[in-house]
A and B are shown apart, each in its own frame.
Chain A
Amino acid sequence: MANSGARLLIIDDEAQIRKLLSVALRAYHFEIFEASNGADGIRQASTIRPDLIVLDLGLPDESGIDVLRTIREWSQIPVIILTVKEREEDKILALESGADDYVTKPFGMGELIARIRVALRHTAKSEEKPVLDFGRLVIDLSRRMVWVDTKLVKFTPTEYELLRLLAANAGRVMTHRQLLKQVWGGHPLNSDSNYLRVYIGHIRKKIEENPTLPKMILTEPGIGYRFME
């Protein structure tokens, strides 16, 4: 397995969650370290130098966001956030403060492992491949061309840029803001997300079999979009 032996640090105050995660993730051949509070988490992150951190946002001593920011001051270790459904603002804040992805409690183990693998892969990837192949969808980055079901499909420059960005971050969630900033540049306003929706709609019509139930570009309500491999 590609990720076997990767070192994971779990920062969560709930002993039960730590226990569950370490047992389950060890079964997938990860090496697990545990921290029960933010201060210990930061300390271990700097001493152990893990490959990935699973961070609970609701910690007793300091907020998960602060822990994340402290770590980001000196490290680009991928961080996956654990949080509850109701705190959408926290998720966005965490993602924009440098978290790689999030998992909503209660979560299925399969989902968490998929996120961990995506995050690990993105850090491992050093150079960009010239062609992104997702089966039905093939993007030739050097020639800026897109094939759907082996048919060449025309995209406007903005659509192409958006699709490229999502595909390059396949498996990861991209917030509205991140997408707007990278595609349009500048400081996006909240109202700009309407353009984003329009373009996503156009792209879906071109690449999805059923745009109502998309399988490639998924909506993360209130947060952004995720390109599924």
Chain B
Amino acid sequence: MKAVKEGQRLESERVNKGTKANGIQTEGRSAVTEKMMVCVSGSPFSRELIRTTRQMADHLKMKWAALYVDTPKRVPKTMGDRMEISRNLRIAEDLGAETFTVSGTRISDEIISFARKHNVRHIVIGKPKYSRIIEWVRPSVVDQVIRKGENITFHVIPGRREIRTNAINYIFPKHSVEWTPYLILSGIIIALTLLLRLLGPANDLVNVALLFLMPVLFGASRWGMGPGFYASLMSILSFDFFFVPPVQSFTVADLRYILSFAVFLIVAMITASLSSKLKNQLKEARENEKITLTLYTLGREMTVVDELQSTMNRIVLQISDKIGFQAAIYLPDKNNELEVAACSTTADWAQLKAGGAIAKWVYLHGEMAGRGTQTLSESPGLFIPLRTEDFIHGVMVIYYGGFHFPDSLEHKRLIEAIAGLVATAIARIKLQEEAKKAQLAAESEKLRAILLDSISHELRTPLSAIIGSVTALSDHDEVFGPEDRRELLATIRQGAVRMNRLITNLLGMVRLESGMLHLNRQWCDLEDIIGVSMKQIEDSIEKRELCVEINDSFPPIKVDELLFEQMLANILSNAVKYSADKSRIVISACQKGDNIEINIKDQGIGVPLNELDHIFDKFYRLKTNAHVPGTGLGLAIAKGIIKAHGGSISAKQNLDKGITVSISLPMKD
């Protein structure tokens, strides 16, 4: 009776608080830091709560938040209910609230701890109308919250009648009746009765009663409340009929056995509720483990971020592998038009095309659509926006096709989490691309500075020689003898040749770097190319001995003849430049597996081991060679050319002296 009274008191309190909402302003708490909060569920009634809260918050000039507490007990039955919850939260968000979802076992505890953490001083909560008996058995969340929430002002808004049924659905999910447990229990009880009758200590009633508790415990723990109660009833009846004197009648001599019956019922109830709770938790833990595992694998997959397309392909593959349905990802192209970026290998193109319109809608509105939602639920796929913060990167779609839609909270959570991961991966790749661009810009800035330095020096030196010689000849022609004149003219010629080489190299570098280079691959004779490149540098060879060692049966190679020749000329001129006159330079070529290897071996001054890798870098010059003119472009261009051909270049020290530059080129066709 006491509980009922309390229920009445709370009812009146609720009404008072509901009507006195306007009076709260006078309580005059600091409106800046304190917050108002509304507790949201999936019922349409929550929208009313949200609107009321917003009005109150506006009135009180407070910030406000909307909270949804997820518990294993209050399992939303369908994806539709889930959608309702997120829709309610979105409405709150649109109206200016911060929204939160927390999960825990007891709603009231979660609400209060959240409120304390976030400095919430006003809580708006709806109270569904249950019958008195339900309230007596189980105090409503509202009552629990109010009891625990000291220093918090509550605004309780009564629910309407038609909502009530909806609310009850949340608390007691309906199960279809399974008959097997009842049959099994009946069998057990009959067997037990027979056993006890035939051999048992039929007159030791306490032990018999305890033995009859077994099927009750078994039924309740295994199948829950219904079978538990059934087992209690059957056990009691059987116990009463067959064992309690007068035997074989339901008449009870001793009223104490009524108490046994009550005990049986209570045991059944407690066991059932305990075990069902445990089972729920176990199931949830298992589901969570599965989800965690899936997300973990996916997450790991996504950390190997490289290029967007391949990442998307891998992700789609993983998704369809993990959840067993076809998946696809739509991403906007340059014109912000959605197109299929990746899809499962078995995906149906016609379906993907048809899905494009829904994907576009989802992309524009940022809301889910398709199977299991309220928008276009007859569609074969579920379309989920890929959202990070305020930005929607694209749309993911899971095709259920003709399969049964797994309308569970876990599945929904998994899909949402995957969508979150995918969105994060996309965002990260985009960020990385931007960072790369920025880095490239910075690098080209640095390059430009070096370039200017190097060019101005390299161009001015021969130019000074030319201008000096020419002015000498034109201004004081008469003072020079024929020998001097020849010398000056030779200086002019050398200077001009040097400038031409520099400009050729610079242009070559620009062409390589700008990506405008397209290879004109033709079948070529390597020996011929070597000959041409040797001819190109014949002026500087002087008395050095150039040997070509190529087998007669060496196959033709498919390369851009001009570029390949330029590459070889650059390497050769480098070899010539840094080796003494009369030294030997050997050019050899051989086939190694699927590659062709060309080696240029000189007997020059060599390169220190720690600088070997850098000689192919742009503008890199050995510190020891500062006095030798050069831009540090020749070998960089050579590297660029061989890379454009899909090959590689490297250098190593010779055993005696000098270096060997090795070019490796994959054989084509």
Q: Which residues of A contact B (CB under 8 A)?
A: 85-86, 88, 106, 190-191, 193-194, 197-198, 200-201, 211-214, 218-219, 221-222
Contacts and interface: CB of A to CB of B under 8 A. Distances in A.
B523 A193 contact: yes
Given A190-B522, A213-B534, A219 B528 contact: yes
Contacts of A86: 507, 511
B528 A197 contact: yes
Contacts of A193: 522-523
B507 A213 contact: no
Nearest to A201: B525
18 contacts: A85-B504, A86-B507, A88-B562, A106-B496, A106-B500, A191-B523, A193-B522, A194-B522, A194-B523, A197-B528, A197-B556, A200-B525, A212-B531, A214-B531, A219-B532, A221-B562, A221-B565, A222-B520
Nearest to B527: A212
Contacts of A190: 522
B531 A213 contact: yes
Contacts of B353: none
B553 to A, nearest CB: 12
The interface centre, meaning the residue of B528, B548, B561, B565 with most chain A CB atoms within 10 A of its CB, is B528
Contact of B530 (A106, A194, A197, A212): A212
Given A85-B504, A197-B556, A213 B535 contact: yes
B531 A221 contact: no
A213 B529 CA distance: 10
B587 to A, nearest CB: 9
A197 B523 contact: yes
Contacts of B527: 201, 211-212
A221 B532 contact: yes
Contact of A222 (B500, B504, B530, B562): B562
B590 interface: no
Contacts of A191: 523
Nearest to B547: A212
Given A197-B524, A211-B527, 10 more contacts: A88-B520, A191-B523, A198-B556, A201-B525, A212-B527, A212-B531, A221-B561, A221-B562, A221-B565, A222-B561
For this complex, into which size category does the number of interface residues on chain B fall?
20 to 34
B105 to A, nearest CB: 75
A201 B525 CA distance: 8
Interface string B522-551: 111101111110110000000000001010
A212 B548 contact: yes
A106 B500 CA distance: 8
A216 to B, nearest CB: 12
Contacts of A197: 523-525, 528, 556
Interface string B555-575: 010001110010000000000
B556 A194 contact: yes
Contacts of A218: 535
A29 B525 CA distance: 42
A161 to B, nearest CB: 20
B371 to A, nearest CB: 55
Nearest to A204: B528
Nearest to B499: A106
A213 B533 CA distance: 10
A221 B528 CA distance: 9
A206 B548 CA distance: 18
B104 to A, nearest CB: 72
Nearest to A220: B532
Interface string B194-219: 00000000000000000000000000
A221 B562 CA distance: 6
B454 to A, nearest CB: 21
Interface string B492-521: 000010001000100100010000000010
A222 B564 CA distance: 11
Contacts of B561: 221-222
A40 to B, nearest CB: 30
Nearest to A222: B562
A201 B531 CA distance: 12
Contacts of B523: 191, 193-194, 197
A218 B531 CA distance: 9
Nearest to B523: A194
Contacts of A222: 520, 560-562
Contacts of B550: 212
Given A88-B562, A213-B534, A201 B496 contact: no
Contacts of A213: 531, 534-535
B131 to A, nearest CB: 91
A61 B272 CA distance: 97
A198 B500 CA distance: 33
A194 B527 CA distance: 14
Nearest to A225: B528
A65 B385 CA distance: 57
A193 B559 CA distance: 13
Contacts of B511: 86
A198 B556 CA distance: 9
B528 A201 contact: yes
A194 B507 CA distance: 29
A218 B561 CA distance: 14
A85 B569 CA distance: 15
A20 to B, nearest CB: 13
A46 to B, nearest CB: 36
4 interchain residue pairs of minimum CB distance: A194-B523, A222-B562, A212-B548, A221-B562
A110 B429 CA distance: 59
A65 to B, nearest CB: 19
The interface centre, meaning the residue of A86, A201, A212 with most chain B CB atoms within 10 A of its CB, is A212
Contacts of B530: 212
A12 B496 CA distance: 21
Nearest to A84: B507
Nearest to A208: B531
Contacts of A85: 504
Contact of B529 (A200, A201, A211, A221): A221
A213 B528 CA distance: 8
A219 B531 contact: yes
A217 to B, nearest CB: 10
A194 B538 CA distance: 27
Contacts of A214: 531
Nearest to B549: A212
Contacts of A212: 527, 530-531, 534, 548, 550
A225 B534 CA distance: 17
Contacts of B532: 219, 221
Nearest to B535: A213
B341 to A, nearest CB: 37
A4 to B, nearest CB: 26
Contacts of A219: 528-529, 531-532
Nearest to A190: B522
B162 to A, nearest CB: 81
A198 B553 CA distance: 11
B550 to A, nearest CB: 8
A223 to B, nearest CB: 9
Contacts of B534: 212-213
Contacts of A194: 522-523, 556
A211 B526 CA distance: 12
A39 B548 CA distance: 50
Nearest to A211: B527
B585 to A, nearest CB: 13
A219 B511 CA distance: 24
B527 to A, nearest CB: 6
A229 to B, nearest CB: 17
A222 B520 CA distance: 9
A198 B525 CA distance: 8
Nearest to A193: B522
Nearest to B496: A106
Nearest to B508: A86
Contacts of A211: 527
A162 to B, nearest CB: 15
Contacts of B529: 219, 221
